[in-house]
Structure 1
Amino acid sequence: MIVVHHLNNSRSQRVLWALEELGVPYDVKRYERDLKTNLAPNTLKKVHPLGKSPVITDGSITVAESGAIIEYLAQTYGGDDFTPDIGTEAHRQYIYWLHFAEGTLMPQLLLKIIFEKILKSTMPFFVKPIARGIVKKVMKGYVGPNITGNLDFIESHLKNNQWFTGEELSGADIQMSFPLEAWVAKSSNDNNYPEITAYVKRFQARSAYQKALKSGGHYDYA
């Protein structure tokens, strides 16, 4: 049976959702973030050398990285449910959004989180204006515009598509879920992206998603 090595408030939540959508039995082994550092515990390194989540074990097989896990589940257990037919426009969209989530969107959102922590952190008074000045300049000139461009692009796509590959949910939606629901949860007063907000509400209302929440425990972004 598949074991999901589940870190609280992490990308592994979408792996639980994928398994529920596919109807694949699984067990959950829970790990808690360090309250001070917010990092995963060292015990995860016993499962995978990098000690990151998500990671699953399926018998003797260990698979890490969300995209790789989704591909593995789709190929091993999904049949036609999670991957559009090769050679179709839906499949091209599937491949694109599967990689866009972590290759383009998530790095910018992580930079925003890191820089916001720097702005709020304590530091020597003579360093503070220099550090904060640099951070604000990078946020204004690079990170902010990139995030806006990415969200505008996603908003435009979702105006014409119920799901990222068209009319059917696919593994691409599972992969895109984490950055979008994290952004919506942290930007609740931003009404500039109604299609993204509606999309997040749409997938969070699915019964498989709700079952995954019960399996994973408390999740800040739902």
Structure 2
Amino acid sequence: MITVHHLENSQSIRILWLLEELDAEYHIEHYNRVGPQTLAPEEYRKLHTIGTSPTISDGDLVLPETGAIMDYILDKHPGSTLRPAPGHPQRERYLYWLHATQASYMPLLLEALIFKRMISKVPFFIRPIISLVVNKVRDGYLWQRYGRHMEFMEAELSRSTWLSGEQLTAADIVMGYCLQVAEVRTGIDPKYAHIHGFLKRMRERPAYQRALEKNGPFNPLAE
């Protein structure tokens, strides 16, 4: 049986949601973050050399990385509609969003967190200088790239219920976490009505609600 090594307020909520959508049996081991930097505890980091969340185990296998875990689990459920097969009308859009989530969106949200901490974690007497520098870089680089991605997502969701079409896929599951992080870390402008609609539909899904119950309180890291 798969064990989800679940670090609080982390990306592993995606794995819980995926497993609930599949109605799969699994076990959860909960881990709390520690220290002023809200890092994973030592016992979590000992699971795998990489030491990141999410991580699952299945027998002797210990596997980190969202994409690898999603594929591993979906391989065990070959009939699932959560991964459109080659030739399916949603296949190409699915592939784009599945990979863009981790390759484009998550790095931008991580950078937003780092920029916030560069300001909040420095001594107060140099904070105005650091803020000036950080905000200049953020405005000229981060927000421009982030805005382009959000505009594209809004346009895509204006033409279908989910990111790749009318059928929920694993791409929506991985992006769902990103958007919850974006809500608290960068904010989501009200003009992105279709993105807000996506989040509403996500939160109404029984499988997501079950995952949230098993997850416990979920407060994505804001800073």
Q: Provide the TM-score with structure 2 as the length reference.
A: 0.92
**What corresponds to 1:175 in structure 2?**
174
Shift of 1:160: 0.4
SS of residue matched to 1:168:
coil
Say which SS state the counterpart of residue 38 (structure 2) adopts. Answer: coil
Superposition CA RMSD, Å: 1.7
Instruction: Report the Cα offset of residue 39 of structure 1.
Output: 0.6
Q: Residue 144 of structure 2 aligns to a residue in which SS?
A: helix
The residue number in structure 1 matching 2:50 is 50
Match of 2:194 in 1: 195
Quote how far apart the aligned CAs of 1:192 are.
Answer: 1.9
Kindly provide the amino acid, as one letter, of the partner of residue 204 in structure 1.
Answer: R
Unpaired segments ≥5 residues, structure 1: none
1-side partners of 2:78 and 2:15: how far apart?
13
| Map of 1:117 onto structure 2 | 117
Mapping 1:49-68, distance limit 5 Å: 49-68=49-68
Query: 1 CA distance for matches of 2:164 and 2:72?
Result: 19
Within-5 A mapping of 1:36-185: 36-123=36-123, 125=125, 127-185=126-184
Deviation at 1:62, TM superposition (A): 2.0
Cα distance in 1, alignment partners of residues 133 and 210 from structure 2: 44
SS in 1 for 2:163: coil
Structure 2: distance between partners of 1:129 and 1:188: 23
Of the structure 1 ranges 145-154 and 88-97, higher mean CA displacement relative to structure 2 is found in 88-97
* Paired residue secondary structure (2:164): coil
CA distance in 2, matches of 1:87, 1:220: 38
Q: Is the 8 A contact 2:2 2:57 kept in 1?
A: yes
Q: Does the CA-based 8 Å contact 2:74-2:83 persist in structure 1?
A: yes
User: Which residue of structure 2 lines up, in the alignment, with residue 8 of structure 1?
Assistant: 8
Distance 1:113 1:176 in 2: 17
Q: How many angstroms does 1:186 deviate by?
A: 4.6
Q: Structure 2: which 5+ residue stretches go unaligned?
A: none
Q: Distance in 1 between matches of 2:161 and 2:189?
A: 21
Is the Cα–Cα contact under 8 Å of residues 22 and 81 in structure 1 kept in the other structure?
Answer: no
Distance in 1 between residues matched to 2:160 and 2:40, nearest whole Å: 36
Q: Deviations over 1:152-179 (max 9, x none)?
A: 1100100001111201011111111111
SS of the equivalent of 1:77 reads coil
- The amino acid that maps onto 1:162 is T
1:179 and 1:30, CA in 2 relative to 1: closer, same or farther beyond 3 A?
Answer: same
SS at match of 1:3: strand
In structure 1, distance between residues paired with 2:115 and 2:74 = 36
Structure 2 counterpart of 1:144, one-letter code:
W
What CA deviation, in whole Å up to 9, does each residue of 1:66-94 have, x standing for no partner? 11111111111242321112133411111
Deviation at 1:187, TM superposition (A): 5.5
Q: Between the two proteins, what is the percent identity of the paired residues?
A: 37
Letter in 1 for 2:107: P
CA deviation digits over 1:126-149, x for unaligned, max 9?
x44443222111111000111111
The alignment's TM-score, normalised by the length of structure 1, stands at 0.92
Taking a change above 3 Å as real, the CA distance of residues 45 and 187 of structure 1, as seen in their structure-2 partners, is closer
Cα distance in structure 1, aligned partners of 2:60 and 2:120: 44
